[in-house]
Structure 1
Amino acid sequence: MTGTGEKARRDELQVPVTGSGSLTARGLSKSFPLSRNALGRPTTHVRAVDGVDIDVTAGTTVGVVGESGSGKSTLGRLVSLLERPDSGSVVLDGQDVTRLRGKAMSALRTRLQVVFQDPFGSLDPTKSVGHAVAEPLVVHRRIRRSGMLGAAEDLLSRVGLDPGLARRYPEQLSGGQRQRVCIARALALEPWLLVADEPTSALDLSTRSEILNLLLGLQEDVGQSILLVSHDFATVQHLAHRVAVMYLGRIVEEGPTHEVVNNPLHPFTRALLSAVPVPDPVVQRTRRRIVLHGDVPNPANPPSGCRFRTRCSEVMPSCSSIDPVPAEVRPGHRVACLLHSGAGVPVPDVETPRTPT
């Protein structure tokens, strides 16, 4: 395709050629059906993500941390366009990508790449490593097939792997090597934003640090924008400039990482941080572990008011009647908790059905 034809195609799709990687998501919500009736229509739903706002400033890393089932991975899929939200918007470099369809959506997806948590299931065992890494470049007509090997070798070098691995197959690689291959593949199309969904959870401890340092190097060396999803606060603390804490589909605290770590405000954030070990044995012995009692509520039927109140040791009577909303309590530091802010929405009174006499 000629340069003129390529430019015309991009203009037609209204997809900018270059971008900074800044992202703004507002009011994102996503529900999934839990059960269906005889006609196949959903009867009950679970809202995995409920009215989430999140920003990724160009060239920074934002971490999303929470327990299993908190909705953090679903949020990552919404941001990366793998799932379409029920409501809300995702604006990438000034363009609302949730409004795109067809070819325009396909073109924009090249600017949003994902690194999944399972490096063993993310690679086709029948394709060579070089083919897996360079195939996106061929599919999107960046290179010819004859140039796949050279492109793959360059990308493998970029993530600290021997270029000779391009001729091998995934089964011949270790878990850490496979995850580096997945990162190389994600970087092939020079994405504006990289979504890393639990990128180290399937790896051993020594390999985890290598992958984390690789992601940190990408952010520092080339200014790669990253949305990091993890259940491990220590991982997020190591990489992220800002952190958002999720609980039952909502962000309960968000702010600069150093501020949230050193001065956590939400009781759930404090509980998560109390489980993170510190290298100083004296400090570790004197720390108080905050143990959360009770089970995680059913996400299909969350508690009224504050969703964390059934497990919170500082619960107040108003926590059941007021639904807290995130409010800024310090510059750039927001928390959804009535202990620190009176911001909230009154829960509508539900009339209790009367028993016939």
Structure 2
Amino acid sequence: MDNKPMRVLQTGLTSNPGGVESFIMNVYRHIDRKKIQFDFLIKHGTQIAYEEEVTKLGGRIFPVYYGRKENIWKHYRQIKSLLTENNFCAIHMNLCFFNDIDILKIGNQLGINKRIVHSHNSDFLERVPKYTEKLIDWNKKRSETYVTDYLACSSVAGKWMFGEREFKVINNGIDISKYAYNPSIREQKRLELGLKPEHFVIGVVGRIQYQKNPEFIVEIFKKIYEKEKNAVLLWVGDGDLRPQIEQKIMEYGLNQNVKLFGMRKDVNEIYQTMDVFLLPSRFEGLPVVGIEAQASGLPCFFSGNIIKEAKITNLVNYISIQKTAGFWAEQILRTKNDHKRKDQTETIRNAGYDIKTIIKELEKIYLEIK
């Protein structure tokens, strides 16, 4: 009897541990790997986030050496060879837009039973060329031939990527216990990071890129600092706009009060040090960080462009990004003395965001025969 786990080929891991990567790894850490094992398709030359952990968990990493634009025939051949030589039971594509589903087309030809597309966004990360727009439209129209399951992190993300096609919402589950508010961890971590008891800490977790509206974050903090000199901005994340953001921070003379941490493995503990969580994104699918921040009991200030499904607790405040930075600052400063932090884990769990619940849903999809 063959007791080997079924292997699922995943896409979506990059060098930057953002929301999609966090979701994939949250699932991978908690899924029964004796039953289901993950492998990962990545772009050649990419040093992916979590690579060491993936290897320790038993995953294999397969680089794609030829992109579609570089050499379409070699691109097809390498994917066909990869799928032929490895006994994948499913392909799970984690996408921010519907641009490349070649692997699903080839998987369909080779008889791979499960071919999944999972939408993780509700708009383009940046402006895309006309060619890409046409390719996306083409994929939407023809995808039914190649896709067996349409998944999305929210109803908005599903409708944006799949239009009128039927899809299933899979919540961005987290390990709730890791994020539960803990006063002793808060005290210890604040000490470690050089934060004083009187510091009012505004937290940001997210890539420093267009989608996250990083320039506006700095403008909001500038207005907060003008009225509260004990304010500190903690920013976990990296991205292509970091040099511009660092320059703006220097220009405003805020470098002593802004800490850019880059990538961290202790994000769950850094949430404990915060007093407020800030997410003024231009658009989102359903932000994992928003769930994590609520699980940590933080007052959250989200842009009005973030879907209402992200409000799981009464801690969330929505503000339009058309409002001024000064208006945002005023709303945030109101929480300084009147918020008492509480354990929110049961609320998060009851709303269906426990990773254990999500694992059961995905296992059912992977193991289901169509």
TM-score above 0.5, yes or no: no
TM-score normalised by length of structure 1: 0.30
More helix by share: 2
TM-score normalised by length of structure 2: 0.29
